Amino acid sequence: MLIVSQNLVNYDVSLPDNVVYRINLAWISDLDTLISILEKFEKNDIFLDLPKNRTKPPNNRYSMDELKPIIEKYSNIKYFAISNIDSYDDLLPFLEYIKKGITLVPKIESPKGVNNIKEISESLGSKKIVMLDHDDLFSSMLKLKEDPNNFQNYIKTLIEFCNKNDVTLLRTIGVVFADDEKRISEYIS
């Protein structure tokens, strides 16, 4: 699975037809913008990413009550990621909102999330996918005053668990930087 920011289409980058476009709701300034993106990419699978307990900017916040009608209307939303999942209890409020056919993807961003990966993955459906945010995991460790040398151990633990338990682990592979971006907060052209 290849998941990329839908912003890549703003550049002359060739992408495969089966690419999944990620829309990070932290960067979506209003729901009309989200709808226009979903309609623009109606033929592509969408990975909708909801920031929960996000502390870094931008920090647009949407309730599940606001998002539910959109999730139900747009069948191209195939994945729904939720930030800062540390336990099954963190997922529970979202389960009722996710319709059949959408894969719930917990984002693991803390040592607690890594330590509870078994409980988290067991609460998922038959298609088990989790996402690791390396940067936030490391930041969480620093806030908890954990030894930074444990960072690799957490990653290794998560990888080994996912490999042994048929859980797909999504990880960041590279980042795109550009010097011609003029927008400050808008997420589409």
| Residue 159: DSSP 8-state | H
Q: Which pLDDT belongs to residue 181?
A: 62
Q: Which pLDDT belongs to residue 58?
A: 58
Return the SS3 of 130.
Answer: strand
- Residues 121 and 103: their CA atoms lie apart, in Å, by 12
Instruction: Write down the mean pLDDT value for the chain.
Output: 87
137 contacts 109 by C-beta, under 8 angstroms: yes
Helices (H) and strands (E) in the chain, counts: 7, 7
- Token pair listed for 163: 């490999």
Averages of pLDDT over each 10 residues, the chain, 189 residues: 83 85 88 92 92 66 89 94 93 83 93 96 91 91 93 95 96 74 52
Cβ atoms within 10 Å, residue 188: 17
Q: Which pLDDT belongs to residue 16?
A: 86
- Helix intervals (H) in 2-150: 31-40, 64-73, 88-95, 111-115, 117-122, 134-143
37 contacts 23 by C-beta, under 8 angstroms: yes
This prediction has a pTM of 0.87
